[in-house]
Amino acid sequence: MSSSSDYIVLGSGVAGLRAAIELASHGRVIVLTKERLDESNTEYAQGGVAVALSDDDEIDLHIEDTLIAGAGLCDEKAVRVLVEEGPKYITQLIEWGAQFDREGEELAFTREAAHSRNRILHARGDSTGREFVRSMIAHARKLPNLQLLAHAATIGLIVEDGRCAGVRYIDPNESLLREMRARAVVIATGGAGQLFSQTTNPSVATGDGMAMAYAAGAMMCDLEFVQFHPTALALPDAPRFLLSEALRGEGGILRNHDGKAFAKNYDDRAELAPRDIVARAIVAEMEQTGTRWMYLDLTHLKATFLRDRFPKIFTTCLQYGLDLTKDQLPVSPAVHYVMGGVRSDTYGRTTLPGLFVAGEVSCTGVHGANRLASNSLLEGLVFGARAGTAAIADDLPSPDHTEVTPVEFDLAQWRLDPHTKSRVQELMWRKVGLIRRGADLQAAIEELTTLASTKIGTNINQRTRNFATLAKLMAEAALWREESRGGHYREDFPNRDDAKWDKHSAQVLGKEISAIVKISE
């Protein structure tokens, strides 16, 4: 294995693959991912991809819907980039072999919550993310300059002379810790849903990329904004399986235990209101009725339509004894997406030279305080490509080719301590969850500070400390923002306050939390 590459990409979801493909036109690229190549949040994306390509849609309408969902904190420049460039990259993906659902020869567009037009493309009904990964890996494998290396966990970033110069990673073939230098590093490691005990995210979404960037000195932004998906399967013996937004988009009705539809009582848009509103409506109804879940009812829709439209959801529900054509599905909210992350401009540049980010790990301001449904796959595609373009254009110094002797590495020093992980998850869910209170947040910060301390024992490794540190940053940002907006709801400050809080949180290692007004400049 070479000790250098022109470019290093961390993560093999849509953002990482698209960045790597762009970079491969200009130099040698290696993609490092800690699990198998197709294990990422992209793989689990059911809902589809939003893109203004249909005859009755317009770019400006997609922009407007995104800005409305973002509750006043979207960076309009970033939104315009996403929506205007989206059609080009989706068309390119189709040319690479991605197969989206069609009606005859035409692409089939559907609608989801908070969209004003039918603009959601799907692949095999509810396997859109999987099709993204399949088609992009197939294309990537054709590029001679691009190497994909699975089960190669990155431990940390190398910072030299004020810039990111490479990474330290675990060689997947041997228990060795190696260093690799590069002109630039692109982090596309996804989100951090595993910080919470209730999440739709896969086990790999532990926020490692965010934590590594923070430890290296990059600025974090808007970590208080966490999206709770309203409808995760709520069975004691089942994982928190995502029941796609599209189920409500196609006519699914939320009902309480008395069988009454209740969403209209909380918002005129009912089941099609933005996710934060629907999620809080479900929680409010649960509290009023003293129950642990509500029901999503699709039994009034045609059985053949449901089986064809949602094959993966239909099959998964059957495994747990539920037939979505006949049974009402028990649902409750779960953490789904982090709007905040490593601050970047619209080309993925962070505050640390040589370090670029794309996808959920980043914060361009494109989602504001609440992500519009099905904008995430488009985000990864568009900003992944742009991060690659910028890393090439910035013409950073060539990597140092000096061989660095690898060292023996105990894999136990990388795995998350299970006790600490479980404690962080429960703490975050109870005190930094869907409904937040100042006293709870302060208590969470105090305990997370202890858990993140380097003085708590040699049995706690750096990755575990990073996990607790990222949770603490999120709790601190939530305490700092004394208002309610988008995915951030403070019971003690229930109203949105544009006069005081039309700004973004900024967190940098060794500094107090502060405010920035604009992101992508």
27 within 8 A of 8, measured Cβ to Cβ: no
Evaluate whether residue 452 is within a structural domain: yes
Q: Per residue in 85-115, pLDDT tens?
A: 999 999 999 999 999 999 888 998 887 777 8
Other Cβ atoms closer than 10 A to 387: 33
- Angle, alpha carbons 140-356-95 (nearest 5°): 30
Look at residues 125, 168, 144, 159 and name the one whose alpha carbon lies nearest to residue 3.
168
Give per-residue burial for 332-365: e unless 16+ CB within 10 Å, then b. bbbbbbbbbbbbbbbbbbbbbbbbbbbbbbbbbb
Does the global pTM surpass 0.85?
A: yes
CA distances, 354 to each of 17, 151, 275, 497 (Å): 19, 24, 35, 37
Pairing of strands 514-516, 504-507: antiparallel
Domain limit, last residue, from 336, 360, 395: 336
CA distances, 175 to each of 151, 152, 169, 406 (Å): 11, 10, 10, 10
Domain count, the chain: 2
C-alpha–C-alpha distance, residues 436 and 79, integer Å: 28
Evaluate whether residue 174 is within a structural domain: no
Look at residues 120, 105, 27 and name the one whose alpha carbon lies nearest to residue 373.
120
- Angle, alpha carbons 437-442-444 (nearest 5°): 95
Q: Which two tokens stand for residue 63?
A: 């922009």
Evaluate whether residue 36 is within a structural domain: no
Q: What is the mean predicted confidence (pLDDT) over 479-488?
A: 97
Q: Which two tokens stand for residue 217?
A: 């000195």
Evaluate whether residue 298 is within a structural domain: yes
CATH number at residue 458: 1.20.58.100
Strand partners, 294: 331
Pairing of strands 49-50, 120-121: antiparallel
The single-letter code of the amino acid at 229 is H
Evaluate whether residue 190 is within a structural domain: no
Half-sphere exposure of 442 (CA within 13 A, CB side): 4
For residues 330 and 415, membership in a common domain is answered with: no
* Average of per-residue pLDDT values in the chain: 91
Evaluate whether residue 80 is within a structural domain: no
What SS3 class is residue 160? strand
What one-character-per-residue DSSP string does 208-229 give?
HHHHHHHHTTPPEE-TT-EEEE
C-alpha–C-alpha distance, residues 108 and 120, integer Å: 8
Question: For residue 397, what is the DSSP state?
Answer: P
Q: Per residue in 164-222, pLDDT tens?
A: 999 999 988 887 899 999 999 999 999 999 999 999 898 889 999 999 999 999 999 99
Evaluate whether residue 176 is within a structural domain: no
CATH number at residue 317: 3.90.700.10
C-alpha–C-alpha distance, residues 316 and 126, integer Å: 12
437 within 8 A of 481, measured Cβ to Cβ: no
Q: Per residue in 270-318, pLDDT tens?
A: 998 877 889 999 999 998 999 999 999 999 999 999 999 898 899 999 9
Q: Which two tokens stand for residue 78?
A: 């970033």
Q: Per residue in 366-393, pLDDT tens?
A: 999 999 988 999 999 999 999 999 999 9
Determine the structural domain holding residue 277 and report its residue range: 226-336
Q: Lowest-pLDDT range, 125-129, 155-159, 454-458?
A: 454-458
Catalytically active residues, by annotation: 275
Evaluate whether residue 113 is within a structural domain: no
Domain limit, last residue, from 321, 336, 351: 336
What SS3 class is residue 4? strand
Rg (CA), the chain: 22
Q: Is the pLDDT of residue 240 over 90?
A: no
Q: What is the mean predicted confidence (pLDDT) over 231-245?
A: 86
Pairing of strands 120-121, 226-233: unpaired
Domain limit, last residue, from 318, 336, 354: 336
What one-character-per-residue DSSP string does 398-433 give?
PPP------EE--GGGTSPPHHHHHHHHHHHHHHSS
